[in-house]
């Protein structure tokens, strides 16, 4: 067996790469014109764990490796986006806008069909979020609309049904989070809660499920 394809080696290497990428991402976020500083070690630990898991399941043959690049990008976007949205209540344009071409490029190993679905899914989900934002800016922020583009591309790459599954899971988790926040007294009716982490988490779950299928 090729040493690099051994699950343990792949886990350790990608885990270390994830921790390094997380540290670089944290430094980059702090240096943005409108800085979004994140305390260590959230980015390092989060991306290190996710990429280590990706290495383990990829080397173990548990997922179709064609989807590994897009999973790696979504993990990175998920950690950076969740950290800034939860801690700073914003999703910087410098994070969300370049993420769309990055996701589309990551879909290339899966073939032209995946790329075309991804572009169409990005337009569809971003359009739906933009409509909600226009109707109720409090319910859906502009950053969430921009984040919907790369997320839509990532989840639609495997299949159209994945987009529907991600939308349903996001709605259910958003309702659950809002309900828990209300019961715990951490929010009131009409309060705006960070939506990015729920959207990104749902996308990651759906893509992993599709890659494993």
Q: How far apart are CA 55 and CA 137, in angstroms?
A: 39
Q: How far apart are CA 51 and CA 68, in angstroms?
A: 10
Q: Is this prediction's pTM over 0.95?
A: no
Q: How far apart are CA 24 and CA 20, in angstroms?
A: 6
Per-residue pLDDT at 35: 82
Extents of the domains making up the chain? 3-212
Q: What are 157-179's pLDDT values in tens digits?
A: 999 999 999 999 999 998 888 78
Peptide bond into 41 cis (omega under 30): yes
């Amino acid at each position: 067996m090729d040493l690099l394809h051994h699950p343990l080696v792949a886990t350790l290497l990608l885990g270390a790469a994830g921790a390094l990428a997380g540290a670089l991402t944290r430094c980059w976020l702090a240096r943005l014109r409108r800085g979004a500083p994140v305390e260590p070690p959230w980015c390092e630990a989060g991306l290190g764990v996710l990429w280590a898991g990706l290495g383990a399941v990829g080397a173990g043959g548990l997922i179709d490796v064609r989807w590994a690049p897009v999973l790696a990008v979504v993990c990175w976007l998920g950690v950076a986006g969740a950290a800034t949205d939860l801690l700073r209540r914003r999703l910087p344009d410098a994070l969300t806008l370049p993420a769309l071409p990055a996701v589309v490029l990551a879909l290339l190993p899966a073939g032209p069909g995946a790329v075309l679905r991804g572009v169409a899914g990005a337009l569809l989900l971003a359009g739906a979020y933009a409509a909600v934002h226009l109707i109720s800016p409090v319910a859906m922020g502009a950053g969430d609309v921009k984040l919907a583009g790369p997320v839509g591309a990532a989840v639609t790459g495997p299949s159209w049904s994945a987009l529907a599954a991600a939308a349903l899971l996001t709605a259910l988790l958003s309702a659950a989070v809002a309900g828990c926040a209300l019961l715990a007294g951490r929010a009131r009716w009409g309060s705006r809660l960070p939506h990015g982490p729920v959207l990104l988490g749902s996308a990651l779950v759906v893509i992993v499920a599709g890659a494993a299928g």
